[in-house]
């Protein structure tokens, strides 16, 4: 779920666009796999003979493995040829999803979710690095926005389609669908990509170095905590909105489509709104509106019309926050901006991995699915408070430029932080 800021979508050479779109197809498969399990949890739980809250831990296994493995693999596979690494990642991803679909026990399915996450962790940072190597410097942000548009498209199209397929086959059919999209990504990479230049290697310690800055740590904690709250409802969406959907899979798929389309709008709007109003206003406005939407779900989940409105607002707000958060990280420590932004994805996925566990705990301890939005709203609010503390520290340091902490760039040069709105 990484997103990028800036860039204009014009003047990219056609051949380059096609190569980036080939890479984006793989991102579409991986993004679909990240989100689609939430729409098929009841089917998984029935078939594997576990509770819904237990089956939701398949999401935890995937997201947590992805978050941990991405920076590790990006470090230790730095010298492997990029095209080989891309194809390996998609191959492992496909095997993980086929294995999940063939699993006859919950434990085996859990293991294959980790395998699928390993494939995604190999592919995603490699694809991002490949785009950086292929695109001219002045078009880099635009090229990255096309690549990560595959993730946005996954929420708008991949997840609803996968959920709809489960209604006509079962949850295993959804896993095979994801594997098929991954195979299409393999073909696209084979046909479209020649040799890709490798980025300079970065040590793992260097990748994690921004965490020593408390301002960056608090901003990443905002991502982790807020997106844990945001994805509690998404994980258990089939139960939360059961009164509105009547537990019909097709209706749920349309509800997920509304969410995904709104998320795409939020992702696109986040950058422009940040440029105009600053990251502080955009993050807090989107977060507060999301808190209000979550707090009202005990009433909006009763009818399909109100559920669509709630899901659409939630989608816009959730995805509108990521770009300004990255903008805040850039302003806090510009010389380490790329390293800081690379950690956003891990923080996001750790939050996503915690959501099923926290939501399952709440469901198992007396909170009904229909009222799950209330504690979720509280968790998002806590994330906003953490982010506000980080923002105050950033502003304090910027108000005293001579006392501002010095950041070291990847080449050892120092830089002070510029203004951060």
Q: Could you report the per-residue pLDDT of 149-158, keeping only the tens digit for each?
A: 787 788 878 8
d(CA 230, CA 236): 11
- Label residue 414 by pLDDT band (50, 70, 90): very low
Backbone angles phi, psi at 415, to 5 degrees: -160, 145
Q: Which fold has domain 1-201?
A: Growth Hormone; Chain: A; (1.20.1250)
Highest mean pLDDT among 46-55, 258-267, 378-387: 378-387
> pLDDT of 205-220, one tens digit each?
877 888 888 999 999 9
What's the pTM? 0.79
Residue 49 has pLDDT above 70, yes or no: yes
CATH level 3 topology of 203-421: Growth Hormone; Chain: A; (1.20.1250)
Cβ contacts of 411 within 8 Å, gap of 6 or more: none
Q: In the predicted model, what is the mean pLDDT of residues 76-85?
A: 85
Lowest mean pLDDT among 203-217, 222-236, 310-324: 203-217
Which residues of the chain are in CATH 1.20.1250.20 domains? 1-201, 203-421
Categorize the per-residue pLDDT at 406 as very low, low, confident or very high, splitting at 50, 70 and 90. Answer: very low
Residue scoring higher pLDDT (37 or 203): 37
Among 389, 337, 418, smallest CA distance to 222 is for 389
Q: What DSSP string runs through 298-314?
A: HHHTTSHHHHHHHHHHH
The whole-number pLDDT of residue 232 equals 92
Inter-residue contact 266 to 317 (CB < 8 Å): yes
Lowest mean pLDDT among 67-76, 243-252, 337-346, 367-376: 337-346
Burial of 114 (0-12, 13-18, 19+ CB in 10 A): middle
The predicted structure's pLDDT at residue 131: 80
- Given a cut of 80, whether residue 339 has pLDDT beyond it is no
Report the alpha-carbon distance of residue 196 to residue 212 in Å, rounded: 33
Instruction: Give the containing element (helix H, strand E) for 407.
Output: strand 407-408
* pLDDT given for residue 301 in this prediction: 93
Q: Is the pLDDT of residue 274 over 70?
A: yes
Q: What percent of the chain has pLDDT over 70?
A: 89
pLDDT of residue 403: 47
pLDDT of residue 337: 67
Whether the predicted pLDDT of 396 surpasses 90:
no
**Which of 17, 15, 123 lies closest to 73 in space, CA to CA?**
123
Query: Span 268-294, mean pLDDT?
Result: 90
State the pLDDT confidence band at 412, using cuts at 50, 70 and 90: very low
For the cut 60, the answer to whether the pLDDT of residue 408 exceeds it is: no
pLDDT at 140 over 50: yes
Q: Give residue 402's pLDDT.
A: 52
User: Cα 363 to the chain's mean position, in Å?
Assistant: 24
Largest CA distance in the chain: 64
Q: How confident is the model at residue 92 (pLDDT cuts 50, 70, 90)?
A: very high
How large is the average pLDDT for residues 134-162?
A: 77
Q: For residue 172, name the pLDDT band (cuts at 50, 70, 90).
A: very high
What is the reported pLDDT for 287?
Answer: 95
């Amino acid at each position: 779920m990484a997103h990028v800021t800036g860039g204009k979508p014009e003047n990219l050479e056609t051949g380059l666009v096609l190569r980036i779109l080939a890479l984006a197809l793989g991102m579409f498969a991986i993004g679909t796999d990240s989100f689609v399990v939430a729409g098929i949890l009841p089917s998984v739980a029935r078939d594997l003979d576990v509770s819904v809250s237990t089956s939701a831990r398949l999401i935890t296994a995937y997201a947590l493995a992805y978050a941990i493995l991405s920076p590790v693999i990006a470090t230790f596979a730095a010298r492997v040829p990029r095209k080989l690494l891309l194809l390996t990642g998609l191959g492992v991803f496909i095997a993980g999803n086929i294995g999940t679909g063939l699993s006859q026990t919950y434990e085996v399915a859990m293991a294959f979710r980790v395998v699928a996450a390993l494939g995604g962790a190999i592919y995603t940072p490699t694809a991002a690095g490949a785009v950086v190597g292929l695109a001219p410097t002045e078009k880099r942000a635009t090229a990255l926005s096309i690549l990560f548009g595959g993730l946005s498209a996954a929420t708008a199209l991949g997840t609803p389609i996968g959920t709809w397929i489960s209604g006509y086959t079962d949850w295993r059919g959804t896993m095979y669908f994801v594997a098929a999209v991954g195979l299409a990504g393999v073909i696209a990479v084979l046909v479209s990509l020649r040799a890709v230049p490798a980025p300079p290697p970065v040590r793992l310690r260097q990748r994690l170095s921004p965490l020593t800055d408390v301002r960056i740590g608090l901003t990443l904690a905002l991502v982790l905590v807020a997106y844990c709250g945001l994805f509690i409802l998404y994980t258990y969406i089939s139960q939360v909105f059961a009164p509105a959907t009547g537990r019909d899979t097709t209706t749920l798929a349309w509800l997920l489509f509304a969410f995904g389309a709104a998320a795409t709008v939020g992702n696109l709007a986040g950058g422009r709104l940040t440029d105009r109003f600053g990251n502080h206003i955009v993050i807090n406005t989107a977060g507060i509106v999301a808190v209000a939407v979550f707090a009202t779900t005990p009433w909006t989940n009763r009818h399909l019309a109100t559920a669509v409105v709630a899901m659409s607002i939630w989608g816009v707000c959730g995805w509108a926050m990521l770009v300004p958060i990255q903008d805040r990280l850039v302003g806090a420590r510009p010389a380490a901006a790329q390293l800081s932004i690379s950690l956003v994805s891990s923080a996001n996925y750790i939050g996503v991995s915690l959501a099923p566990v926290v939501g399952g705990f709440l469901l198992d301890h007396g909170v009904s699915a229909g009222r799950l939005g209330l504690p979720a709203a509280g968790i998002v609010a806590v994330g906003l408070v953490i982010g506000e503390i980080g923002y105050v520290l950033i502003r304090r340091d910027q108000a005293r430029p001579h006392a501002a902490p010095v950041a070291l760039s990847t080449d050892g040069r120092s830089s002070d932080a510029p203004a951060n709105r």
